[in-house]
A and B are shown apart, each in its own frame.
Chain A
């Protein structure tokens, strides 16, 4: 996509968002004041501040982000380090993935339940869950993009007498790299969802637990305010990720 088209897309999504916010303020703050279903903008703002005072969001946010960001960072580092082995398993022993077939419809929600039961209220249990979840998503991304690997690259390089391991790391991994890093923002989003669900179930500490408390108090405006706040964090981090990847990783 050309830079001009990209800029136009950003501008149009930004203007649509601003327009929706403006409509929301006009309708629910000034026009349709009598309704009680959707919280007023002023109430949302109030709830946003109460998240920090009444719900103690600071500690919860530190807890959740200290799981999400280190797990994301280290899973990428570990993946880069072990990629020759991962790629080899992915290509040479493809059958190993058949073992995972029965778990295809096993939602990660059940995994979160089981982890919560096995490691009750454990920070390291949460870390382990998040890490395994991230690694599985990353493996799936590589597996789904296997079709992008061009036979002619492998054939030509193999005919030069290049070792199998070098082909895995210098040809196949390089081909998969743009797809892997291109989907990192998706991994980040999925990781947030998984950790929030995990914390919602455990109801101990973390943003997910704040959601649960707000839910138990029937505090719809706090749920929405927190939702908007978390969405903004995810959007900001994803924007940074996309920028960094486009600058430093993509050979394209």
Chain B
């Protein structure tokens, strides 16, 4: 196995429907994540993408795989710096302030996240994840509630994080255009139990990705059936 590849899985998730019947959410799901790359797991709602991310996060007991859930997870009783340093024992101040600058929170060190925007709180969660020296970062469609402009800005930040800090990212979404804009690789999930129906590498110019007005022809990447399997 190459050092640049992180092997995920095989992962299986079974839950009870409460009437004695077991339901397989996904079974023996496995895929590879490349270093310095953003992998997007895409598919319709209710497929179990969030549960899949949780399974990936808690599958490794040794290496940290921080998860940023859909709803803001920065702790409202701690300020920006305290939130970021929550689980940090030894990390020098310069390094932390460099991470704060990287995520765009410079000058907000003593601000509290409550009453702040989703984007602001996402940046805190992202910085907290980076500070913990993660093997990879898992993001559960945390930016879907943002406006297109803000979302694209944060997508650029995520791509910069993956390439500059060499931390691979797994992001889930149910939006096909978001998947194409953000991903180096899109893993398309469908069916019940959920399975991988296709994996595509996406090669798009960075300027085009960060341009709000750019339009991607989705049929260049996916078949009609694959596009239909998304929930828009």
Binding site for B on A (CB under 8 A): 150-153, 155-162, 170-171, 174, 251-252
Contact = CB atoms under 8 A, between A and B. Distances in A.
Contact of A155 (B73, B76, B86): B73
A192 B54 CA distance: 48
A153 B58 CA distance: 15
A159 B76 contact: no
Contacts of B76: 251-252
30 contacts: A150-B73, A151-B69, A152-B69, A152-B70, A153-B73, A153-B75, A155-B67, A156-B67, A156-B69, A156-B73, A156-B125, A157-B75, A157-B86, A157-B87, A158-B58, A159-B57, A159-B58, A159-B65, A159-B66, A160-B64, A160-B87, A160-B128, A161-B87, A162-B86, A162-B87, A171-B75, A174-B75, A251-B76, A251-B112, A252-B76
A160 B86 contact: yes
Contacts of A171: 75
A119 to B, nearest CB: 42
B67 to A, nearest CB: 4
Contacts of B68: 156
B138 A159 contact: yes
Interface string B92-114: 00000000000000000000101
Main secondary structure on A side of the interface with B: helix
B132 A160 contact: yes
B44 interface: no
B72 interface: yes
A159 to B, nearest CB: 4
A63 to B, nearest CB: 40
A150 B114 CA distance: 14
B122 to A, nearest CB: 11
Given A156-B69, A156-B125, 10 more contacts: A150-B71, A151-B69, A152-B70, A153-B75, A156-B66, A157-B73, A159-B64, A159-B138, A161-B132, A252-B76
B215 interface: no
Contacts of B72: 152
| From B65, B70, B86, residue with most partner A Cβ within 10 Å | B86
Contacts of B77: 174, 251
Contacts of B58: 158-159
A137 B222 CA distance: 59
Q: List the 5 closest pairs (A to B, CB-CB), nearest first.
A: A156-B73, A251-B77, A159-B67, A152-B69, A152-B73
Contacts of A157: 73, 75, 86-87
Interface string B44-65: 0000000000100110000011
Contacts of B87: 157, 160-162
A103 to B, nearest CB: 28
A170 B68 CA distance: 18
A150 B58 CA distance: 19
Nearest to B79: A251
Nearest to A170: B86
Interface in B115-147: 125, 128-129, 132, 138
Nearest to A156: B73
A190 to B, nearest CB: 27
B86 A161 contact: no
A150 B71 CA distance: 9
Contacts of A151: 69
A161 B77 CA distance: 20
A252 B114 contact: yes
B41 to A, nearest CB: 16
Contacts of A252: 76, 114
Nearest to B62: A161
A185 to B, nearest CB: 21
